[in-house]
Structures are given as C-alpha cells and as structure tokens.
Structure 1
Amino acid sequence: MQSGNADKMFTLTTSCIDQPGLVAAVSGSIAGHGGTLVESHNHTDAQQRWFFMRNVIGGAPHFDDKGFINDFTKIAEKYAIDWSLSENKQAERVVILASQSSHCLSDLLYRWKSGELPCSIPCVISNHENLRSMVEWHGVPFHYVPVPKTDKREAFASIEALIDRHDADTIVLARFMQIMPPHLCEKYAHRLINIHHSFLPSFIGANPYQKAHDRGVKLIGATCHYVTTDLDEGPIIEQDVVRVDHSCSKDDLVRLGRDVERSVLSRGLRYHLEHRVLVHGNKTVVFN
C-alpha cells in the first residue's frame, strides 16, 4: 500500500532491555513496509543491559507509515520497547525563555533564521524588557513577564500559560536566571532544556564563574542538560570546555565562557530536535 511518502523521512527511536532479535525485528519491520535505512545507530549499555537505537527511514515510494505503526506497535509490546516515530519535516515549536543576557538567545535566533536549527520559534518570554527590540527585529513575538523576588507563583503561572498557548514542543532556558518550579519540571520532562555556565557537576547553582576563578581552575566549560526538580542535576545532552590559566580574571572567564555556552546550547538543542538524544534514568545516549 502506498502512502505518498516518496519525499518523506522519518526518525524512529527505540530503547529497551537488551535481548536477541531486536535489530532484526526493527529493521525487518521497516523493510517490510517499504522503508529504507538512511541512517542507523545503536548502542548497548553492557552494565545495565539496556539497548538504544535510532533509525532514519527513507520514504521510499511504497513506504506505508500507518501500516508500519500498526505492525511496530505489536513488536514493541513483544519486546517491551519504548519508542517514538516522527516525521523529519515537521518542525518542532521551540519557546525560548531568557533574562538579561543576550548571547545565547541571539545565537539561537541567528541559527534559526539562517535555517541551521530545524524548528519554529513562536515566541520568546523574558522577565526583563531589554531583549525586546532584538527579538522583535527577528520577527518573533516577545512576552514580558516580570518575576518578583518573593512570591513567584503568579509569574510562573503566566509563563506556563504562554508556553501552552503557543503549543510548545520544547522549552529552552537561554540563560533564564530563574529556578523553574517543580511542577513545570515534571510537566515538561525531557522537553525543558537549560544551558548552565559550568562543566557540571562542578560549580552547581549561581555565579559559577566566580567559583571557578576562586578555585583557580585550568578549564571552564558549559553544560546543556534537561531540567529536573534537582537543580543542575538533569540528564546531560552536551558539554564542552576551554582552557584558561592563572592570568585570567573573572571577566576573562565570563568572556571565554560565553562562546562555549553558545555552541554547547545550539548543539544540544539540535541533537534534541533531531531526536538524537535517548534518556535512560539520569543519563543520555546521544547519537551525534
């Protein structure tokens, strides 16, 4: 049966307990419905006996995605597979939260505008007004939601309403200097992405560059991770470092660190959008 998928591509991700026949079952089902493997990666965590796989399926003229879903549902039940199938051309909707720092936000907006990030950006939300002109210059709606220092419940209720109104698939904290409430961390689990300006698990929390300077580190870095209820403890998507030395001031660390933050966040978000990140517990497998 033909579904008109000649020009379509799909990404299938699977994870489950490692067991014989998994690769054959998955690839056989894809081939049985006329699909071709354009890209394929798999990994087994030998210690936990957990299997991960990501396949990009070409929409050959006879690929029947609906039939494949029906067939693969039965396979998933047999092997207890956690799986998802997404069409690659369906761009995810990414809502960005930011505070006063512009470097990560401006980099994401540039990469989105130039076509480097496969997503749409329906809005940017900020607890400060200073980024409005930059965001609106890119043609993106800007929402200002002030967050008081004491009772923040009403502010976060407004932020949650905006995220839901814009039907966000993914939420990015691009140096949004507020701690997300636990219920939002749980509601948007594995969809809420943060950039932390430190090579975690070192220097968790606020002011990591000052802590790094006080410690006299020789490497500084940045970490892109999913947000959980444990501050800066969520599954890590991407990290990078840059070398520093005793002559660097705190301002030097901040300047050098900003470059790392930009690149780490954009790579991490891209991996997420391309369904290259598979989460298991508090760890990730990233097929990059």
Structure 2
Amino acid sequence: MNHAYILTLSCPDRRGIVHAVSGFLFENGGNIEEAAQYNDPDTGLFFMRVQFACDQLTHQELSSQLKGFAEPFKMNWKLHATTQPMRTVILVSKEGHCLNDLLFRCKSGLLPLDVRAIVSNHREFYQLAASYDIPFHHLPVTAATKAQVEARQLEIIESEGAELVVLARYMQILSNDLCKKLAGRAINIHHSFLPSFKGAKPYYQAHDRGVKLIGATAHYVTADLDEGPIIEQDVARVDHSKTVEDLTAMGRDTESQVLARAVKWHSEHRVLLNGHKTVIFK
C-alpha cells in the first residue's frame, strides 16, 4: 500500500531546486501527485509544497534522508503523513457561530481535523461540545487568574498533542508568552478586514466610519495584537441603512467562511510563513 506524504519547504532561491526535489523523491520511490512552488523576488526565497506517495521508505526513513538532502540548500522543511487528521483544540467565548460551523464541517468530512478539546471562559457551549462527544473545559478568566488559566490552557493543548489551536471568537488577549509558545499553529478570526479596525468592537468602528464593505480576517496569532500573518480574508457589501446589529449579523457568515477556509488550508499544509506574510498553495 502506498503511503501519502506532504513535503513543505523554503530556502534561498537558486537554479535547479525543483529538479533536485523531484529527483530526490524519484530516487527514494516517491510518486509526485501534486506540486506547487513560488519564488519571492522581494525576499529571494523559494517555497514548495509536494504531495507524493511512497511505499519504499517509512516516515522516519524519509525524514532521515531529507536531512542530508536539505542541508546544501539551507532548507527549512517539514514532512507530514496524510493518514491522520490534524489534532486541534478550539478556544471560544460567547459567540458560537464559528465554533458551530467548524464542528459541523468536521462531522461532515469537510475538514481534516481531530478536535480533541473545546476550551472556553464561559459555559454556553458545553452542550454543543457534548453533542459532538468532545471534552469541554470551562476556564473563567479574570485579571488575577489569567496566568493560571493560560498555564492550564497550554497544558490541555500539549496533553492533546494539538498541532493546531483555533481561536473561534475567543475574546481574550493571549499573553506574549503564550503567543510565542503557539507560534505558527494558532489561528484567530478577527471580525474586521485587517489592517483596518483592529482591537475591540470593530463593527462599531466600521459603522462609525460609514464603510461600504465589512469583512473578516483569519490570521496567525502573534504577540502584536491583530498583526499576525494573514491567511484569508473576505468582505460583504453594506450601505448607509445598515445598523451595527445588521453589520454584526452579516459579518457572522463571513467570519465562519473565512475561518473555515484558513483552517482547511492549514490542516492540509498549504500555508507557508514568509516573514510577516504567508504563501498559500491552494
């Protein structure tokens, strides 16, 4: 039986990288099923994603071979087996539309996720979690307990072996320390079209400015609030007659769709970090 893998890599650009990668996979019994690459002229970096089948070497053996192959190219690389869905922990507060959408997509086979736990600072969604047979952790947050709560959150994330943490409208600002520990594996949905209207109540800010488009942004979490590398965005058209409540209601659909797309691409290893930006192989 062929085993499927995804290889992602980035390195300084030079001639012959695609030829070298395809040759390496051929020599080790790999059959390329999907491949994409991008050369960034601004940074001089090369990015590549290759999905391939291989029945001659195990994951460990391939990884060992890749270490020697990648060194002359100064490659940052990761090798992923595609057989298991990505272990995920979801954080949520009182707004449940994104959470509900993600869980339904997982149940329907539309997202390759294994949701191991739902963590919330409120109790609203313990029954929803139970209906999907997912452990629910209620961790109320105050200024006095923030450090202890984040320690418990990290304990849950690590004990579940989570490769992805999704902030599905989790309305607490993570500490710099936790952001660093989750770097590259935590996705937030911001209910605005960043970089405009950062921080709290962006729909109120948008309404006050009389915008004609509202949007949502899915991005990686960093210590700089709402400044992380952007994965996906979308917009909805509005006019002067819309109230703040109208904007909020319309925005929920956009938020859910944007977050679902970002999570899907991340779970399929289609997103590569490029400094404060992303390269996405759709």
Residue 237 (structure 1) aligns with: 231
What SS does structure 2 have at the residue aligned with 1:156?
Answer: helix
Question: How far did 1:12 drift?
Answer: 0.3
Matched, 1:30 2:1: no
Question: How far did 1:150 drift?
Answer: 4.7
Alpha carbons 1:92, 1:170 under 8 Å: kept:
yes
Question: How far did 1:236 drift?
Answer: 0.7
Structure 2 matches for 1:117-196, cutoff 5 A?
117-196=111-190
Matched, 1:50 2:45: yes
Residue 13 (structure 1) aligns with: 8
Matched, 1:207 2:195: no
**Equivalents in 1 of 2:175, 2:156: separation in Å?**
15
Alpha carbons 1:33, 1:67 under 8 Å: kept:
no
Cα offsets for 1:54-111 (capped at 9, x unmatched) = 000123x445655433332122100100000000112221000000011000001101
Identical-pair percentage: 47
**CA gap 1:66/1:176 in 2 versus in 1, 3 angstroms:** closer
Residue 255 (structure 1) aligns with: 249
Alpha carbons 2:191, 2:251 under 8 Å: kept:
yes
Alpha carbons 2:188, 2:218 under 8 Å: kept:
yes
**Equivalents in 2 of 1:53, 1:155: separation in Å?**
38
Aligned letter for 1:129?
Answer: R
Cα offsets for 1:146-166 (capped at 9, x unmatched) = 001455212222222222222
Question: How far did 1:278 drift?
Answer: 0.3
Larger deviation, residues 164-173 vs 24-33: 164-173
Matched, 1:283 2:277: yes
**CA gap 1:106/1:64 in 2 versus in 1, 3 angstroms:** closer
What SS does structure 1 have at the residue aligned with 2:26?
Answer: helix
Residue 218 (structure 1) aligns with: 212
Alpha carbons 2:271, 2:280 under 8 Å: kept:
yes
What SS does structure 2 have at the residue aligned with 1:75?
Answer: helix
**Equivalents in 2 of 1:151, 1:134: separation in Å?**
26
**Equivalents in 2 of 1:7, 1:239: separation in Å?**
36
Aligned letter for 2:35?
Answer: S
**Equivalents in 2 of 1:73, 1:262: separation in Å?**
39
Cα offsets for 1:218-245 (capped at 9, x unmatched) = 1111011100000000011111111111
**Equivalents in 2 of 1:124, 1:41: separation in Å?**
34
Aligned structure 1 segments of 4 or more residues deviating by more than 2 angstroms = 61-72
Give the aligned length. Answer: 282
Over the residues paired in the alignment, what is the CA RMSD in angstroms? 1.3
**Equivalents in 1 of 2:145, 2:53: separation in Å?**
51
**Equivalents in 1 of 2:112, 2:39: separation in Å?**
28
Cα offsets for 1:210-267 (capped at 9, x unmatched) = 0000001111110111000000000111111111111111111111100000000011
Q: Which of 107, 110, 114 does residue 104 from structure 2 map onto?
A: 110
Matched, 1:76 2:70: yes
**Equivalents in 1 of 2:184, 2:58: separation in Å?**
29
Unaligned runs of 5+ in 2: none
What SS does structure 2 have at the residue aligned with 1:121?
Answer: strand
Unaligned runs of 5+ in 1: 1-5
* TM-score for the superposition, normalised by structure 2: 0.97
**CA gap 1:137/1:68 in 2 versus in 1, 3 angstroms:** closer
